[in-house]
Structures are given as C-alpha cells and as structure tokens.
Amino acid sequence: MAKAFDKRIDLSEARKSWSGIFDESTILSINKLMKKGFVKDIGGVAKEGKESIVLAGVGSDGSVAIKVYAVNATKFKRMETYIFGDKRFSKIKRDRRSVIFAWCRKEFSNLKLAFGKGVNCPEPLAFQNNVLVERFIGSYPTPAPRLSDCIHSDLDWKELFKSVLEQMKKMNMAGIVHGDLSEYNMLYWEGKPYIIDLSQGVLLSHPDAHEFLERDVKNVCSFFRKLGVDCEETEAMSVIEND
C-alpha cells in the first residue's frame, strides 16, 4: 500500500507518530483518491492537530491540502453536538467511525456551500471516508499563516476586520455558521483572510445556529479589539445577518 505515497513520507514513521490517523483504512482512502487523480504526490506535513493532520500535496491541476481526520479523535463527543442537530446527517449511526466519516463529509459539504457563495475558503475537491482534499492556501508546501501568527505584522487591522465580517456575511448567505471561528482558523494570504476548518459548521436551521454565530462574533471581535480595532458585537451581528 505504501508504494503510492511519495518517498518523503515515511509511512512506518507516520504510523508511529500518528497512530490512529494513518491506519489501514486511511491508507486505502488516500490510495483511492490518488487513483482518481485528486492526489498525485504527497510532500509533507503542513499542519498537525489533535483531531487531524493536514498534508501538503500536488493534485492534477495544482497544489492541494490533504486533511486526514483521526478516527480516534480525542474530541469525538464534542463532534456529536454539531452533527446530530444537522438535518443533513440525521441518519448517521452513533459509532465513532461513522461520526468521523460524517465529520469529513460535513466539512466538504460546508466548504462547497461557502465556496459557492464566494467565501474566501479552500475549494473542496474530493473526500473519501476520513480524508478530505481541498485547494492549498499558501506557497506550496508552506501554508499561509494564521491570523494568530500575524499579530506583529504591520497590517491594516481595521480593513481586515471589515473583510472578515464580509466573509461571515457571505457564509450566512450560504446558509451556514462556522461554529468555531477565531484567529486560529483564519489564514492571511495575498492581502485577504481565508476561513478554514468548517467541519463543525452548521446550517442556519440547526437549533444552536444563532448561539454559535454569536460565539463566532464574540471571538472575532475579541481578537481584533486587542489589535486596536473599535468593534461592537451587536453591530457586527447586524452586518452579518442583514442582506
């Protein structure tokens, strides 16, 4: 199975470092995506988290990010909150593997909705079980920096805040709420903010959608306020929710 992977990824070492992520099922899923042409080459790890690992790769028409969700994710129970109130996933079984696979499909679906409305976010390309392939944001193989990594940069934070609100408004028009938005899942690239990590995003019909949106706004305003931007949460909510 390992022959399909680029030599720069030592699969045996990957298994040791990230047991529970690079299991046999995940390897099969990545190989299927490679056979379909969505992934041609894997260059290395772009981002490492508790619930997933993002690999930098090359697809048939450019660089891609390959997001692998850990089947043994530590925050498995938290995922259920965002899935079982979502009408798109009402028939999902409650076992761990089914929920993780749904989590992957959910991010693909949310990205498709957001990207379709012009939100600055990775273009979703394909998914297979717990593996998602999306357009790479950054200068391959180095991902674009998170906003949290840009706090010492000489940026126009006031204008950037307006741009973030505009992206949140577009997401609202797409009918989804991010649900966990902060400076840690927004990238800064070519003068624009990009929203990433939409797996927990919910439809506006979700019973907790408004509460999640309020939390997103609170997090965003808190971050920009620390950088000297005068922002009120009530006004921000009005911008996002009004057509």
Percent of the chain at pLDDT exceeding 70: 91
> Which residues carry out catalysis?
180, 197
Element of type H or E holding 205? none
Q: Say which DSSP state 118 is in.
A: T
Per-residue HEC secondary structure of 175-198 comes to CEECCCCCHHHEEEECCEEEECCC
> In the prediction, which pLDDT does 42 show?
87
Strands 202-203 and 62-69: unpaired
> In the prediction, which pLDDT does 20 show?
58
> In the prediction, which pLDDT does 140 show?
94
Question: pLDDT per residue over 16-35, tens digit each?
Answer: 666 557 788 888 898 899 99
Q: Please report where in the chains the tokens 């600055």 appear, as a residue.
A: 120
Element of type H or E holding 241? helix 233-241
Work out the angle between the directed axes of helices 76-83 and 96-116 (0-180°, nearest 10): 50
pLDDT bin (cut points 50, 70, 90) of residue 14 is low
Q: What are phi and psi of 61, to 5 degrees?
A: -140, 40
Distance, in Å, from the CA atom of 65 to the CA atom of 59, rounded to the nearest integer, reads 9
pLDDT at 2 over 60: no
Question: pLDDT per residue over 115-124, tens digit each?
Answer: 999 999 999 9
pLDDT bin (cut points 50, 70, 90) of residue 211 is very high
> In the prediction, which pLDDT does 10 show?
56
- Best-predicted range by mean pLDDT (53-57, 90-94, 192-196, 205-209): 192-196
Q: Which fold has domain 144-241?
A: Transferase(Phosphotransferase); domain 1 (1.10.510)
Average per-residue pLDDT for the chain: 90
Architecture in CATH of 7-142: 2-Layer Sandwich (3.30)
Beta strand residue intervals within 72-185, DSSP E: 124-128, 131-135, 138-139, 142-143, 176-177
Residue 124, preceding bond cis, omega within 30 degrees? no
> In the prediction, which pLDDT does 25 show?
85
> In the prediction, which pLDDT does 187 show?
98
Task: Select the more confidently predicted residue: 218 or 86.
Answer: 218
Question: pLDDT per residue over 153-182, tens digit each?
Answer: 999 999 999 999 999 999 999 999 999 999
What are the domain boundaries of the chain?
Answer: 7-142, 144-241
pLDDT at 8 over 50: no
Distance, in Å, from the CA atom of 120 to the CA atom of 114, rounded to the nearest integer, reads 8
The reported pTM is 0.91
> In the prediction, which pLDDT does 13 show?
63
- Best-predicted range by mean pLDDT (47-56, 95-104, 129-138): 129-138
Distance, in Å, from the CA atom of 21 to the CA atom of 14, rounded to the nearest integer, reads 9
pLDDT bin (cut points 50, 70, 90) of residue 5 is very low
Question: pLDDT per residue over 42-69, tens digit each?
Answer: 888 899 887 889 999 999 999 999 999 9
